[in-house]
Amino acid sequence: MAPHIEAGDKDARYLSLLFCTTKTAQEFETRRKQHLKELGAEQHISALLDLAWMHRHGDDGHDQSDLKFLQLMTAAALMGDNDALKHVKTYIAARMEWEQFPLPPADQAKRRAAKATIKG
């Protein structure tokens, strides 16, 4: 993996964070957090998602922060990650006490038209 990391491959850098190459767990977590933040700053979606969940649960020395979770998850969603979009919608629906996140108006119209066709 080293040649890919040296070539600047972000995915290789991210994958390297899954393996402990240090003597202690504390060193591993410190290294992992630092590199996740760097990759997040470089708009690496998987790193953003990992950071989001760390902030959601207050893991690995990160402060628990719903705002930071939502910011990071929304960034990943806007970059095209469909799972992140689902998490953002679920989070918002829960905070708004909705049963589910509403469909966009165009999709609502399609659903009404499909129901009318089935009934008619």
Domain ranges of the chain: 2-119
**What's the CA dihedral at 63, 15, 47, 33 to 10 degrees?**
30
Cα angle value 14/75/34 (rounded, 5°): 35
Pull the structure tokens for residue 98: 């909705």
CB contact set of 88 (below 8 Å; sequence gap of 6+): 70, 73, 74, 77
53-76 pLDDT, tens digit per residue, is 999 988 767 788 999 999 999 999
Q: What does the pLDDT read at residue 24? A: 86
CB 93 within 8 A of CB 100: yes
Q: What does the pLDDT read at residue 68? A: 94
1-47 pLDDT, tens digit per residue, is 788 888 888 999 999 888 877 788 888 888 888 999 999 999 999 99
